[in-house]
Amino acid sequence: MNDVTEPQDGEMIEMEPTLMSPPDGGQQQEEESSEQGGQKNLRVGIVGTNTVARATNVAYDTKGAERKIVGGIEDLDSLIDWKPNVVFLCTELSLLKNDTLDDAELVNIVNKIVRTSGAGVCIRTTINIETIERLIQAIGWEQFQAKVMYNPVMGDADNMADILTPDVEYFGGDEKAIQAHVNILKHLTHFSATTIVPGTVFEVAYAKMAVAGFKAVKQTYFNQLQDAVLECGGANPVIVRRMIEQAPDLLDRSVMIPTYVRARVNDELTYKQSRSFSGEFENADVKMFVGMTDKLPLLDECINFKNLKG
């Protein structure tokens, strides 16, 4: 496996997609050290009963780690008495009627672990910015920086293979804590990520939600596109979709840069126009497409015709 270097802000850490278990020599040294009263096995606490929790348990099923799983806050005292080194929070958070997270139990769990034990906390369930702010209020900024890491599941949270072998994994937290955690993943787990991207907890939270949001927008667009092709006629929407899949524009990362930033190179667009325009600068094709059918409301939202020149 490649050596892991100290990550800089936003830098990706490349890792070979192989089993992250220590070499035989490393295991022997750990066992000998343990026999001599030296280094002990890593104690991993896991809170949750879902697939993410079970995958975490499988990942740390190695000679260098011990594991203890509890269902929730009602069993937290027994976990704290076990004196874990790190606790993974995998419990799913439900949405309230106003689409805010019901995160009271998660905040209480993190607060209790941080204040009553020396364990670090790795949050694997999806959280938002409001939850992060409540965690900081509960335990303080210094403890939050020192003890809390955010590692959301980026793939299918119900697929154990996706959880154990992701293409890209995000880690939010203190740089040194992330580096230490990556080294643990490398030597003491079966976890195998191709690329690890470090950042702050806030950055990772935004990235996680943004990826989910983009997938929702993309799915909505292709749903509407199917309806538009069927309404206008003349083509098989399945064949059209397959043709689109080959288009290199779908991988164009320049569209991730806000248009009001890119529009500064165009003297004809005012700042107000570029702020209100969420599509491409050359929008004649989009206007033409939207003018054909009313089945593409997503494109109507993407373009503000009032502030654009004809």
Beta-sheet pairing, 120-123 with 195-199: unpaired
Say what the pLDDT of residue 206 is.
Answer: 97
- On whether residue 1 sits in a domain, the answer given is no
Same domain for 175 and 236, yes or no, is no
The per-residue pLDDT for 300 is 79
Closest by CA to 90, choosing from 157, 31, 137, is 157
Question: In Å, how far from its chain's centre is CA 60?
Answer: 20
How far apart CA 104 and CA 125 sit, in angstroms, is 14
Cα–Cα distance, 191 to 199 (Å, whole number): 20
Q: How many other CB atoms are there within 10 angstroms of residue 271's CB atom?
A: 10
Looking at the fold, whether 53 and 151 belong to one and the same domain comes out as yes
Q: For residue 2, is it within any domain?
A: no
- Please indicate, yes or no, whether residues 39 and 186 belong to a single structural domain of this protein: yes
| One domain, residues 233 and 287 | yes
Residues 52 and 130 grouped into a single domain: yes
239-252 b/e (C-beta count within 10 Å ≥ 16 → b): eeeeeeeeeeeeee
> Which residues of the chain carry a pLDDT beneath 50?
1-7, 13-37, 279, 307-310
Q: Do the domain assignments include residue 221?
A: yes
Same domain, 174 and 31: yes
192 and 213 share one domain: no
Q: Are residues 144 and 57 in the same domain?
A: yes
39: CB partners within 8 A, 6+ apart? 30, 33
Q: Is 4 inside a domain boundary?
A: no
Boundaries of domain holding 290: 206-307
Q: Which of 182, 199, 216 is the last residue of a domain?
A: 199
- Whether 147 maps to a domain, the answer reads yes
Q: Are residues 19 and 108 in the same domain?
A: yes
Residue 5 falls inside a structural domain? no
Q: Give me the phi and psi of 235, to 5 degrees please.
A: -155, 155
Q: Kindly state whether residue 84 falls inside one of the protein's structural domains.
A: yes
Q: Does 146 share its domain with 131?
A: yes
Please say which residue of 199, 216, 242 terminates a domain.
Answer: 199
Domain final position from 172, 199, 226: 199
| Model pLDDT, residue 256 | 83
CATH label of the domain that carries residue 33: 3.40.50.720
Instruction: Name which of 8, 35, 18 is nearest 193 in CA terms.
Output: 18
Residue 267 is assigned to a structural domain of this protein: yes
Number of domains in the chain: 2
Residues 210 and 128 placed together within one structural domain of the fold: no
Distances (CA, A) of 83 to 50, 79, 105, 216: 23, 7, 21, 41
- Do 165 and 51 fall within a single domain? yes
Q: Distance of alpha carbon 228 from its chain centroid, rounded?
A: 33
